[in-house]
Amino acid sequence: MTLRLMLWLLGVMLKRAFKRKARFRERLQDRGGLDWGIATEDLSIARHYRMRPTGIESQRGLPVDLDLELRFQDSQTAIKVLRRPSQRTFLDAMMAGQLRLVGDAQDLDRLQRLLKHL
């Protein structure tokens, strides 16, 4: 599976969870909005997600006004980490220099809590 397809499917899954899972909507309502994105370091592949209590938007690219960015060394690394997303996997990738976090680490924690409801 390519990274572009994986990121597009993530957007579909987020929208589906928003429509079908009340707990996901409640968590999003409690936390307010979260704008975040995933990209490779060279920005050849990038997608961002705007998660609001009113809905979820997903688009290509990486605008500058995001709360959180996950920048992966390359697409293979991104696929490997995103297939089994856990705090340990993210931490290992950051320590190895394969993942760069742009933004607040608390936003990453908020995102991981929200993604548990997918």
Task: Give the model confidence (pLDDT) of 65-99 as tens digits.
Answer: 999 999 999 999 999 988 887 788 888 999 999 99
Q: What distance in Å separates the CA atoms of residue 118 and residue 10, rounded to the nearest whole number? A: 9
Task: For the chain, give the mean pLDDT.
Answer: 91
CB atoms within 10 A of CB 4: 14
Checking if the pLDDT of 105 tops 90, the result is no
Domain ranges of the chain: 3-115
pLDDT band at residue 1 using 50, 70 and 90 as cut-offs: low
Q: Domain 3-115: which topology?
A: Nonspecific Lipid-transfer Protein; Chain A (3.30.1050)
